[in-house]
Amino acid sequence: MPRAFSRRQWLAYGAALRFAAGLAVLFGLPAGALLLEPPLAGALFGTLSALVDICTMMAFIGGAEIFVPRTALGRGLARLPLALEVAAKALAYLAVVAAVIGGRLGPQVAALTLDPALAARILAQVEAAFPRDLLVLVCGMVTVLLVMLRQATVVVGERTMRDIVRGRYRAPRREERFFLFVDVVGSTPVAERLGPLAVHRYLDRVFEAASDPVDDWRGEVYQYVGDEMVVTWRLEEGRPQARPLACLFAIEAALGEEAARFERDFGTAPRLRAALHAGEVVTGETGGSRRAIVFHGDVLNTASRIEGLTRELGRPFLVSQDALSRMEAARGYALEDLGSRQLRGREAPVRVYAVARA
């Protein structure tokens, strides 16, 4: 079963449909009451029409955006140049808009609930008040703009885009965060045997497989650096269910499921080294022509140093005492106390634990 059809996707799909229903009532009820006669019947007619139209379009378009990306079709689209990907999606979604709005699906369904004579009269008013071609044009333009916005969101990250739009970090703020450094082992042999282009495909496949676990456990990919990815959580998002640890082992499991494909395509399956640390950072927007949300503080440097300890200590996954003390339910994992370690560039030692599945 494709990984796209996870509980998280179904929850997102339900939320999209609820949003569509709320939007339909918000616009359909007053439009029907003001533009159709009699007002009460017009309000009911407008609400039901909008519910059918908007929810139907959301069912197809929202479903495609939520479920298709992790399928073969979605991966094929993602390999296209961005302009072609946007154009392909826009054409497909415009066909849905034309079928629903141009076919008057909502009004036709709403008319079934009324007396035939009243339904015929209101349908005539709908044709006069809401010209079919104009509605299709407006809805089509909105759809294309939303597709472009969605693609921009994918490029910068959904949470980053949301925080920039809201201005959450326009002024820098102090906050506590978890940082998970995940290093992919195995890219060097791939480079030696197959060359740098193969390494890129190898790492792209790894990071693609990791994306669902990161989303499932409410993480946010901060950056990709070579063969390493950095995932972060605000304290309140990462604390429940020890989500950073759950995310790490979910990534390991997802790569395990793909191991045969990696062996077939690259001659090796990826292994991971990882370190988890937590503490206070200053988070804020920075940049001119390109805005980004960045983190400043000793936490990232320390997490990177702990990740370096995985080689020295021969343990693939390490977690600091600072991170453990900030998580709930971490007792569900097997922990081995490795004592306090002096890290390069840091005066105070850090207590670290090897972590494994319980």
pLDDT in tens, 51-72: 999 999 999 999 999 888 878 8
Contacts of residue 211, defined as CB under 8 A and 6 or more positions apart, other chains included, come to 221
Secondary structure, 3-state, 21-63 = HHHHHHHHHHHHHHHCCCHHHHHHHHHHHHHHHHHHHHHHHHH
Contacts of residue 178, defined as CB under 8 A and 6 or more positions apart, other chains included, come to 232, 233, 235, 238, 244, 276, 277, 278, 323, 326, 327
Q: Does residue 70 lie in a domain region?
A: yes
Count CB atoms within 10 A of the CB of residue 122.
Answer: 25
Q: Does residue 1 lie in a domain region?
A: no
Q: Does residue 33 lie in a domain region?
A: yes
Q: Does residue 2 lie in a domain region?
A: no
CA pair distance 133, 101, nearest whole angstrom:
9
Asked if residue 315 and residue 272 are part of one domain, the reply reads yes
Asked if residue 47 and residue 179 are part of one domain, the reply reads no
Asked if residue 89 and residue 199 are part of one domain, the reply reads no
Range of the domain at 274: 159-166+173-357
Asked if residue 349 and residue 247 are part of one domain, the reply reads yes
What's the Cα-to-Cα distance from 17 to each of 22, 55, 145, 184, rounded to whole Å? 9, 6, 19, 38
Q: Does residue 53 lie in a domain region?
A: yes
Q: If you ran DSSP here, which 8-state letter would residue 289 be given?
A: S
pLDDT per residue, tens digit, the chain (358 aa), is 344 467 778 888 999 999 999 999 999 999 999 988 889 999 999 999 999 999 999 999 999 998 888 788 888 888 888 888 888 998 999 999 999 999 999 999 999 988 888 889 888 998 888 888 888 888 889 888 888 888 888 777 777 788 878 888 889 999 999 999 999 987 777 888 888 888 899 999 999 899 889 988 999 999 999 899 999 999 999 999 999 999 999 999 999 999 999 999 988 899 999 999 999 999 998 877 777 889 999 999 999 999 999 999 999 999 999 999 999 877 789 999 999 988 887 778 899 999 998 7
Asked if residue 177 and residue 152 are part of one domain, the reply reads no
Query: Cα-flanking dihedrals φ and ψ of residue 185, to 5°?
Result: -95, 135
The overall average pLDDT reported for the chain is 89
Asked if residue 223 and residue 248 are part of one domain, the reply reads yes
Q: Does residue 229 lie in a domain region?
A: yes
Number of domains in the chain: 2
Which of 156, 185, 204 marks a domain boundary?
156
Residues 131-175 pLDDT 10s: 888 888 888 898 888 888 888 887 777 777 888 788 888 899 999
Identify whether the C-beta of residue 189 lies closer than 8 Å to the C-beta of residue 268. yes
Which of 94, 122, 156 marks a domain boundary?
156
Asked if residue 313 and residue 208 are part of one domain, the reply reads yes
Asked if residue 222 and residue 115 are part of one domain, the reply reads no
Helices (H) and strands (E) in the chain, counts: 15, 8
Asked if residue 224 and residue 152 are part of one domain, the reply reads no
Asked if residue 179 and residue 152 are part of one domain, the reply reads no
